[in-house]
A and B are shown apart, each in its own frame.
Chain A
Amino acid sequence: MTDKKEIRCTLSVLVDNEPGVLARVIGLFSGRGYNIESLTVAEIDDLDSISRISIVTCGTPMVIEQIKAQLRRLVPVHDIDDLSDKSFHVERELALVKIANTGSSRIEALRIAQSFRAHTIDSTLDSFVFEITGNSSKLAAFISLMRAIGEVEIARSGVCAMSRGKISNLKQREDML
Chain B
Amino acid sequence: MEGNTETKLKLNGADAILKVLDEQGVEVIFGYPGGAVLPIYDALFKSNSIKHILVRHEQAAVHAAEGYARSTGKVGVVLVTSGPGATNAVTGLTDALMDSVPIVCLSGQVPTHLIGNDAFQEADTTGITRPCTKHNYLVKDVQKLCSTLHEAFHVARTGRPGPVVIDLPKDIQLSECEYVSRQDRHGRRYKPSTDPDKNKIIQVAKLLVNAKKPIIYGGGGLINSGPEASKLLKELVHITGIPTTLTLMGLGAFPCDDKLFLGMLGMHGTYEANLSMYNCDVMLNIGARFDDRITGNLKEFSPNSKKIHIDIDPSSINKSVAVEIPIVSDATFAMQELIKELKKLKFERAENRIGVWLKQIDEWRGRKCLNFTQQGSVIKPQYAIKRLYEKTKDIETYITTEVGQHQMWAAQYYGFSKPNRWMTSGGLGTMGYGFPSAMGVQVAHPGKLVIDIAGEASFLMNMQELSTVAQYKLPVKVFIINNQWMGMVRQWQQLIHGGRYSESYTESLPDFKALAEAFGLVGLRAESVDQLDGVIDQMISSKSAVVCDVQVSKDENCFPMIPSGAAHYDMLLSSEDKQKNSVSQDGMVLV
Contact = CB atoms under 8 A, between A and B. Distances in A.
Contact of B188 (A16, A69, A74, A175): A175
Contacts of A16: 189
Instruction: Assign chain A's interface to a size class.
Output: 20 to 34
B138 A176 contact: no
Interface string A1-43: 1100000000000001001100110010001000000000000
A75 B317 contact: no
A151 interface: no
A155 interface: no
9 contacts: A23-B127, A23-B130, A31-B131, A65-B318, A66-B318, A69-B314, A174-B186, A174-B187, A177-B148
Nearest to B126: A20
A31 B132 CA distance: 11
A90 interface: no
Interface string B142-169: 0010011001000100000000000000
A73 interface: yes
Nearest to B150: A177
B138 A20 contact: yes
A73 B133 CA distance: 12
A175 to B, nearest CB: 4
A177 B189 contact: yes
A157 interface: no
A72 interface: yes
Contact of B314 (A19, A27, A72): A72
Contact of B130 (A27, A69, A73, A174): A27
A78 interface: yes
B393 to A, nearest CB: 39
Given A72-B315, A177-B144, A27 B131 contact: yes
B135 A75 contact: yes
A78 B322 contact: no
A105 interface: no
A76 B187 CA distance: 13
A55 B429 CA distance: 34
A49 interface: no
A19 B138 contact: yes
Contacts of A76: 189
Interface of B: 126-127, 130-131, 134-136, 138, 140, 144, 147-148, 151, 155, 186-190, 313-315, 317-319, 322
Contacts of B186: 174, 176-177
A62 interface: yes
Contacts of A73: 313-315
Nearest to A76: B189
Given A73-B314, A176-B187, 14 more contacts: A1-B322, A20-B136, A27-B130, A27-B131, A65-B318, A66-B315, A69-B315, A72-B314, A74-B135, A75-B135, A75-B190, A172-B187, A177-B144, A177-B186
Nearest to A20: B126
B127, B138, B155, B318 pick with most chain A CB within 10 angstroms: B318
B189 A78 contact: yes
A123 interface: no
B189 A69 contact: no
A24 B319 contact: no
A17 to B, nearest CB: 13
A24 B130 contact: yes
B221 to A, nearest CB: 15
A19 B130 CA distance: 12
Interface in A46-92: 62, 65-66, 69-70, 72-76, 78
Contacts of A69: 314-315, 317
B135, B138, B140, B148 pick with most chain A CB within 10 angstroms: B135
A27 to B, nearest CB: 6
B315 A177 contact: no
B136, B147, B187 pick with most chain A CB within 10 angstroms: B187
B408 to A, nearest CB: 28
A66 B319 contact: yes
A74 B144 CA distance: 20
A70 B315 contact: yes
A176 B189 contact: yes
Contacts of A75: 134-135, 155, 189-190
Contacts of A70: 315
Q: Which 3 A-B pairs have the closest CB atoms?
A: A69-B315, A175-B189, A174-B187
Nearest to B151: A177
B187 A175 contact: yes
A172 B315 CA distance: 23
A132 B147 CA distance: 46
B147 A177 contact: yes
Interface in A144-177: 172-177
Given A19-B138, A78-B189, A177-B151, A1 B130 contact: no
B197 to A, nearest CB: 16
Nearest to A16: B189
Contacts of B126: 20
A62 to B, nearest CB: 6
Contact of A62 (B148, B188, B322): B322
B78 to A, nearest CB: 19
A70 B318 CA distance: 12
Nearest to A30: B131
A68 B136 CA distance: 20
A27 B133 CA distance: 12
B189 A1 contact: no
A76 B130 CA distance: 13
Contacts of B144: 177
B136, B189, B190, B319 pick with most chain A CB within 10 angstroms: B189
Contacts of B134: 75
Nearest to B185: A177
A19 B318 CA distance: 31
A173 B189 CA distance: 9
A1 B187 CA distance: 36
B434 to A, nearest CB: 28
Interface string A123-157: 00000000000000000000000000000000000
A177 B135 CA distance: 14
Contacts of A173: 187
A163 B187 CA distance: 28
A177 B148 CA distance: 7
A1 B317 CA distance: 12
A172 B147 CA distance: 18
Contacts of A24: 130
Contacts of A62: 318, 322
A1 B318 contact: yes
Interface in A78-124: 78
Contacts of B314: 69, 72-73
Contacts of B131: 27, 31
Nearest to A67: B315
